[in-house]
Amino acid sequence: MHRDRRKDPFRLFLVGSSLVYKAGVWLRCTAYRVGLFSAQRLPAFVLSVGNLSVGGTGKTPAVEMIATWALRKGYRPAVISRGYGGRFKGEVLVVSDGREIKSDPAQSGDEPYFLANRLSRVPVIVSKKRYTGGFTAHKELDADFLILDDGFQHWQLHRNLDVVLLDGENPFGNGYVLPRGPLREPIGSIKRADAVLLTRCAGAEIRSGVQEKFSGKCSGIPVFPSAHVPSQVIFPHRDRDTGLAPTQMKGKRIIAFAGIAHPDYFRESLEALGMKILSFECFEDHHVFSREEIESLLERRKKLGAHYLLMTGKDWVKVERTGVASPEMGYLDIRFKVLNGETAFFTLVDDAYQEWVAEQRKGMKKI
């Protein structure tokens, strides 16, 4: 619906609702800009990875990429998430302290648990109040490089750097804010960003026509084409050959399923790798899989004569908890990669961090 520009009566009603929503966003943003409300500051460097639209831009792999880079640089990163879809209702949940996982996906939500599994030396914290979560990460877990997962609209907390992800295929949807369109705030809000990662780009060049859409909207903001790149297909229940290169999957007959915001992207990734999809099932985003559902899918694999049953990495962390095991069941491992200007992107991040360090030293000298 968000990509549909038809104007039937119901859509006209949604347009009116969007105008009300847009006014509310403007009032809130203005209140922070003129000083009626003030953003809290954490005693750590804060980088936000966010977007303008609801879901589907692939923020989680981008957070993983930045956290991995920060760790290699010798910084002390931690991820702060609001834990969307999780049952936790308290103030702070330590999903991982950087040494061991202390929660489960039902409590933390899909993304934080997924990141906790992927980032073995990086703390992952869930807190609706990002300041509280960030303060815990800094004071109790010694983190000095905090990454806000989905923090662009979190005006309550000061950030040192705002990185925004936009879908390279459809960056602004139909141009409307919620509920008529997918945007959380007007397109012009992109001017608050320090850098834009344009996702789902086919190569180093931005897709045809997309650059024109950015003309005048991202003026002066560095834009980096990027992609979610398949790295391997992992079969956790195999004794050996647990990971296969994507090229080894060409021509394989598969059954696949996904419980993510845009399952078609997953299907397209499998097809692009040359797999033959015999059946593909879509579940709701953040769907909690039952043992019966997975057993049914495995049975379908046998009936259709498929080689494998495949899913996304996010789905795997929940499927694993069903206790169903099969050597023919695996997931596609995805890595986020800046396709053009990777060095420039991380230099931008590093410069912002070093600027924060300099500010801290200057403040200490004054004391």
pLDDT in tens, 266-316: 999 999 999 999 999 999 998 999 999 999 999 999 999 999 999 999 999
Overall pTM surpassing 0.85 (yes/no):
yes
The more confident residue out of 25 and 42 is 42
At which residue do the structure tokens 């977007």 appear? 51
Q: Mean pLDDT over all residues of the chain?
A: 91
Q: Is the dihedral of CA 35, 40, 46, 47 positive or negative?
A: negative
DSSP letters for 2-46: TT-----HHHHHHHHHHHHHHHHHHHHHHHHHTTSS--B--SSEE
**Domains of the chain with bracketed CATH:** 45-227+338-366 (3.40.50.300), 236-327 (3.40.190)
Average pLDDT over residues 14-27: 84
Q: What is the pLDDT of residue 186?
A: 93
Residue 219 banded pLDDT, cuts 50, 70, 90: confident
pLDDT at residue 1 is higher than 50: no
The more confident residue out of 324 and 225 is 324
Sheet strands (E) in the chain: 45-51, 77-81, 93-96, 124-126, 145-149, 161-167, 195-199, 223-234, 243-244, 253-258, 276-282, 308-312, 329-338
pLDDT at residue 106 is higher than 80: yes
